[in-house]
């Protein structure tokens, strides 16, 4: 499949089920959307992410009932620095969508979605461990992969690949 240029205009993409549902619910929460390489990405405001997840999970037409993944990308040194990414899957409709929340390096805090999908527990712990993004409302936000007394967040771009001796 040859590459097609990405579509980033929110108006052109508003017919996609997930975009339409979110725009219906709260148009200010959606700051942008992108359709690239057959994948839909929706940019959501940080304060509305948990409710947006609830809306998508309970959408009767296309329920995104399965949380595939929660991860993060560090765009140091550009701001906003962190991008927390949620991959959702709708098992009945066999559709995927990606939600993205942009966070500044000054306050990398976002609300946890463990209340929506309990399966987000370990994924959010891993993001906290490796990137330092805090999730408010998480039942047990502690380091997952690194030892408990580790200092620093290894997957940030200002942490060297070889680590510190």
Which of residues 6, 7, 27, 109 is near other proteins by CB under 8 A?
6
134 binds other proteins (CB under 8 A): no
* Segment 22 to 51, residues that bind other proteins, using CB under 8 A: 36-39, 41
**Which position among 20, 32, 43, 68 is part of the footprint of other proteins (CB under 8 A)?**
68
Asked if 76 is part of the footprint of other proteins (rule: CB under 8 A), the reply reads no
Min CB(72)–other proteins separation in Å:
8
* CA pair distance 95, 128, nearest whole angstrom: 28
Q: Which residues bind other proteins (CB under 8 A)?
A: 1-3, 6, 36-39, 41, 65-69, 71, 73-74, 85, 87, 89, 91, 94, 96, 98, 117-123, 126, 130, 143-147, 154-155, 159, 161, 163
């Amino acid at each position: 499949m040859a590459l097609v240029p990405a579509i980033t205009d929110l108006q052109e993409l508003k017919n996609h089920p997930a975009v339409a549902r979110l725009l219906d619910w709260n148009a200010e929460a959606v700051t942008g959307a992108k359709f690239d390489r057959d994948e839909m990405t929706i940019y959501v405001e940080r304060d509305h992410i948990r409710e947006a997840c609830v809306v998508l999970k309970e959408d009767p037409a296309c329920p995104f009932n399965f949380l595939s993944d929660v991860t993060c990308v560090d765009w140091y040194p550009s701001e906003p620095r962190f991008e927390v990414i949620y991959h959702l899957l709708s098992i009945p409709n066999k559709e995927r969508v990606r939600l993205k929340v942009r966070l500044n390096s000054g306050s990398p805090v976002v609300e946890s979605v463990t209340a929506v999908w309990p399966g987000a527990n370990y994924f959010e712990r891993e993001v906290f461990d490796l990137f330092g993004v805090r999730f408010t409302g998480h039942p047990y936000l502690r380091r997952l992969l690194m030892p408990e007394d580790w200092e620093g967040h290894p997957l940030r771009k200002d942490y060297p690949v070889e680590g510190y001796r």
